[in-house]
Structure 1
Amino acid sequence: MRSDRYRLCLLLLGAVLVTSACGEPETPETGLTGGWTTAGCEFSRTPETVTMGGRILPATPPALEAAMARIDAGGRADFPTSYAGLEVDQERVRAIVYRVPSAPFDDFIRNSAEDTCIVVRDAGHSLAELMEWNDRLVADIPAWQAHGVRISSIAARHDGVGVEIGTGDVDLARSEMSRRYGRTAPLVFVEQGPVVPLAVPGVPTAPQPGG
């Protein structure tokens, strides 16, 4: 379900994450209009695992994986101005969907979730909007390199915060690119060295509790 496009190491995806921590359902964080959870979050579930190469690894249950696929496909095709991306939290057996608040898309998420747990959180920008910025930035890479701004990676963040730009000189990149694109451009700058080839990207995973 993921595009085969790359980062630049171009990691261009509107995606999905994996944690660890079972127990009581988490109270959603308040966002632009407040987060919410589907009815399936009222029930606790035991995390699933799979053994690979002698190691026990967390696994996504088929029902949750299918719900995520429905939401991702429907979000991209039918709600592009709202859908930002998603992540999977395997430890809590749930998925987290990020979207620009939209009542129709929220209804779609509820129906698509069935009896799985989906946490819905607000996003500042949709995946479609960030991918437009992503493509513009990729096209401008040669010009930035000619001006001494070295870009290691470009990635549309799955949480809708912005387009993440990896560079060896954050201050220079922020100054020059904000001057060209405007200070309201959804750009997030992170310090990063030279490009390192990536394997084919998969589903994003949620951060570990407390991390």
Structure 2
Amino acid sequence: MRLRLVPAVLAVAGSVLGMMVAGCADPSGTTPVRAGAAVETAPAPTPTAGGRRADGVVQTAGCAFATTTPAMEISGTPQPENQNRLDEVANRLNPVASSRFPDVYASVELVQIRDRILVRRKPSASFDAWVLRDFARDCVEIVDARYSIVELGARADRISADMAYWRSRGVQINMIGPRPDKGDIEVGVPDVDKAKKLLPAYYGPGVPLEIVKAEPVTF
């Protein structure tokens, strides 16, 4: 069984802080296409000059110029053409958001097919004002999160610290994964029914647990 730290940055669809014992989601969230091929995607709500849209999403002024982009090829392998540029935006945003807004910031995700990054945070006027000002030239969308990455990480860390206790109770925890997009902690165990009876009652209110089946990973 392996133990791996989940970073607070780049949910990249996932994703994001805490301890993961097994499992890893595909971070790209994109489907490679041929160079120059058109990309079909559902249209986004009509953008504004920057601010809150009618659907409640906050977006920067740069989203007025964001477009879907074709893929490029590296050594014959299709790659998103905007990968490096979006990475750069996310890497500028994440450390500042984590240090200045730890109580509200949840995650940042690359949405390559729509040429933008998606930021999750608990509602915060000051956070939104910072993003709208400092990232006005980039396309950043801001959506609500139920919990910050600090809250998710604290719950994940507590479960991780209790793994020996749960093993003594016959509950083998093989995966712990904070999910900012869902606002919960995914906990993987072999016996789902038993864990569902014990873990939520033990940890009480706060960040909820999503108990899923996960067998140990061995190498």
Q: Give the shorter-chain TM-score range.
A: 0.7 to 0.9
Residue 26 of structure 1: aligned partner: 44
- Taking the TM superposition and a 5 Å limit, the aligned residue runs for 1:181-196 are 181-195=203-217
- What are the Cα deviations for residues 131-181 of structure 1, in whole angstroms up to 9, with x where unaligned? 111111110001111111111111222426122211222222122011111
**Structure 2 length-normalised TM:** 0.74
The structure whose Rg is larger is: 2
- What are the Cα deviations for residues 185-208 of structure 1, in whole angstroms up to 9, with x where unaligned? 4322222222367xxxxxxxxxxx
**Residue 15 (structure 1) aligned with residue 37 (structure 2):** no
Residue 205 of structure 1: aligned partner: none
Q: Which moved more, 1:166-175 or 1:49-58?
A: 49-58
Shift of 1:48: 5.3
Query: Counterparts of 1:10 and 1:177 in 2: how far apart (Å)?
Result: 22
Match of 1:79 among 83, 88, 101: 101
Q: Runs of 5+ in structure 2 lacking a partner?
A: 13-27, 31-38, 47-51
Q: Which structure is richer in relative contact order (CA contacts within 8 A, separation 6 or more)?
A: 1
**Structure 1 length-normalised TM:** 0.76
Match of 2:87 among 61, 65, 72: 65
- What are the Cα deviations for residues 27-60 of structure 1, in whole angstroms up to 9, with x where unaligned? 39x9xx9322222222242425343442112243
- Taking the TM superposition and a 5 Å limit, the aligned residue runs for 1:115-126 are 115-126=137-148
Q: Which moved more, 1:19-28 or 1:35-44?
A: 19-28
Match of 1:138 among 154, 160, 184: 160
- Taking the TM superposition and a 5 Å limit, the aligned residue runs for 1:37-76 are 37-47=59-69, 49-76=71-98
Give the CA RMSD over aligned residues.
2.7
